[in-house]
Amino acid sequence: MLKALGFKEGIQRKAHKNKPLSQCPQKRNQRIVKTRAKVEHVFAGIRHMGGKHIRTIGMARAAVAMTMMATCYNLKRLASFLHRGVDAFYKIKSSKMQLRPQTAKG
């Protein structure tokens, strides 16, 4: 079903009793775990803030509620970065983009 929708299966393989995983499934699991760790930490943080259940009627309201929870999570992360002194804001330098200096109108 996932292939029909254009998704790749991301379920890790599990070793069974007295039969360890070979090298190929171990490498596959290592590739999957990188993405899972990034995504699962975000959803765990949202769940920790009380977002385990969304109590709304309708998909539109649920989408708004989920967006608000994600925004709160991002603000919490930003506050954490600023508290630790991490430069959370960075600029991408592009040769195509040229900034014009602002002149005072008077």
The confidence band for 61, taking pLDDT boundaries of 50, 70 and 90, is very high
Question: What pLDDT does 87 receive?
Answer: 74
Q: How many percent of the chain have pLDDT more than 90?
A: 21
pTM: 0.59
User: ∠ CA 13-15-21 to the nearest 5 degrees?
Assistant: 80
Question: What pLDDT does 38 receive?
Answer: 85
- Compute and round to an integer the Cα radius of gyration of the chain: 22
Q: Residue ranges of the domains in the chain?
A: 23-80
